[in-house]
A and B are shown apart, each in its own frame.
Chain A
């Protein structure tokens, strides 16, 4: 059974710092991996989608990497801002069109 783990569960950093969020999964036979952002009381917003054949994806200050063989993904946030404060969720899909399996998230707080 696929399991997704995110470390750390919570992280506090000062504004401007570069940071890395970690995600690991137990079954390397994934179809894709997605990173989401969730603000308090809100829904999920997709940040980056990495196909199983890809190594990384970038969007603005965000960079997500994927190492299937080791069952790991990282989300790198450059020059963090208070507006980045949110919970970040990692999720994997084992087949095309199937439901996502989520980690429990990392709650990020960026102080000004």
Chain B
């Protein structure tokens, strides 16, 4: 089991460029999440998907879109990157049967110039 994997590990963008962050899990989990982590702010939820085919906004969704491609994959897209989106992005997943530990990927470090 690879657990939760994320690509790329690091990315530099110019303002206005677009990119997609990829996340995949091989644990047959139902729910998947995208968080961002900023110094002094902790981790904040961007979007989540409770099950295949559904997505919902979290605390800080502006400037992002998501796609739950299938049960394994959940991607995060920045259509027009802004310096305020410089952050570390974490994907996570959970089985959703109740009482389960949430598993995190290694993160993607994004720098927007």
Contact = CB atoms under 8 A, between A and B. Distances in A.
Contact of B33 (A32, A46, A99): A99
B70 interface: no
Contact of A42 (B48, B94, B98, B106): B106
Interface stretch (B12-20, B38-46, B71-79): B38-46
A111 B88 CA distance: 28
A102 B42 contact: yes
Contact of A46 (B40, B42, B48, B101): B101
B102 A34 contact: yes
Contacts of B35: 99
A105 B42 contact: yes
B42 A99 contact: no
B101 A34 contact: yes
Interface residues on B, range: 20 to 34
Interface in A18-51: 32, 34, 36, 42-46, 49, 51
Contacts of B107: 42-43
Given A42-B106, A43-B90, A43-B106, A104 B42 contact: yes
A79 B43 CA distance: 29
B40 A104 contact: yes
Contacts of A105: 42
B92 to A, nearest CB: 8
Given A89-B43, A99-B33, A102-B43, A43 B105 contact: yes
A46 to B, nearest CB: 5
Nearest to B58: A99
Interface string A90-112: 01010011111011110000000
Contacts of B105: 43
Contact of B94 (A36, A51, A97, A102): A97
B30 interface: yes
Nearest to A101: B45
11 contacts: A34-B101, A43-B90, A43-B105, A44-B90, A46-B102, A51-B99, A93-B102, A96-B96, A96-B98, A97-B94, A104-B42
